Amino acid sequence: MGTPRILEVRTKILKKNDETARAMRHQFESLGLLVVNLVSSPGTGKTSFLLETLRRLRDRGETVAAIVGDLETDNDARRLAASGAPVRQIMTHGLCHLEADMVERELADWNLAEFGYLFIENVGNLVCPTSWDLGEHVRLALLSVTEGEDKPLKYPGLFNTADVAAITKCDLATACDFDRARALTNIESVRPGMTVFETSAKTGAGLDDWLDYLANRRDALGKPASTACP
């Protein structure tokens, strides 16, 4: 008797989350703001990858901002702030994922029209964040060479709810006996056709292709409503 009731409450919460996320996505689109949600297990390299992304986008003259979720500490926000971009930390105090209303509250006093890109680093977790839409346009699943090539098979939800994937820490691939072909085959088997960037935050490998992908996705949003042709 208890299970259906729990499921019903969970369905309602997810429905409310999806409504909030949809409204936010609409607002982001009207501003020409591309929003990216980074999801992976703890320690995959999300913050390192994002720091390099923010730095390089700023070098290209882009305006960027970031929100980062963790159970405790503002360590990641402080690391990301080294890029010069505005960054905010959400501490979830035990919750294993970010939800749309947390992001909405955090953005309430930001002038989003100032930014071209907003990145959301989710709480490190391979399962929970996958069910929660944050209003993003691009969901990036990250897999490091140190985690093992079978993660896409064990955690298919991470990959089949994502738009694009990044393999991180490729500079360590040889030391880890990383089987690149097997990892790519495993990703392909759970999410056929998905683009995969092979990257290293340490050497910068693969990051230019990632930035070009983001630029194309942002162009596809079209111009902000306020500057659209009459």
Ligand X SMILES: Nc1nc2c(ncn2[C@@H]2O[C@H](COP(=O)(O)OP(=O)(O)OP(=O)(O)O)[C@@H](O)[C@H]2O)c(=O)[nH]1
- Contacts (Cβ under 8 Å, ≥6 apart) of 120: 35, 36, 37, 38, 66, 67, 68, 69, 98, 103, 134, 136
Q: What does each C-alpha distance from 51 to 32, 55, 223 come to in angstroms?
A: 22, 6, 26
Tell me which residues in 146-205 interact with Mg ion (CB under 5 A). Answer: none
The tokens of 18 are what? Answer: 């999806």
CB closer to ligand X out of 43 and 224 = 43
Give the number of C-alpha atoms closer than 13 A to the C-alpha of residue 71, restricted to the C-beta side: 6
Cα 134 to chain centroid, rounded:
10
Least distance to ligand X, CB of residue 41, Å: 7
Binding window for ligand X (CB under 6 A); candidates: 4-12, 46-54, 93-101, 175-183: 46-54
Nearer to ligand X, 138 or 201 (CB): 201
Structure tokens at 170: 């490729």
Stretch that binds ligand X, among 12-20, 24-32, 131-139, 169-177 (CB under 6 A): 169-177
Nearer to ligand X, 139 or 169 (CB): 169
Under the binding rule (CB under 6 A), the answer on residue 43 touching ligand X is yes
Considering CB distances under 5 to 8 angstroms, the limit depending on partner class, which of Mg ion, ligand X, none binds residue 42?
ligand X
Q: 18 and 133 in contact (C-beta within 8 Å)? A: yes
- Using CB under 6 A as the binding rule, whether residue 122 contacts ligand X is answered as no
Under rule CB under 6 A, residue 169 binds ligand X: yes
Question: Does 46 interact with Mg ion (rule: CB under 5 A)?
Answer: yes
Q: Going by C-beta distance under 8 Å and a sequence separation of 6 or more, which residues neighbour residue 61?
A: none
**Which of 17, 20, 37, 48 is close enough to bind ligand X by CB under 6 A?**
48
Q: Which residues bind ligand X (CB under 6 A)?
A: 40, 42-48, 76, 124, 168-169, 171-172, 200-202
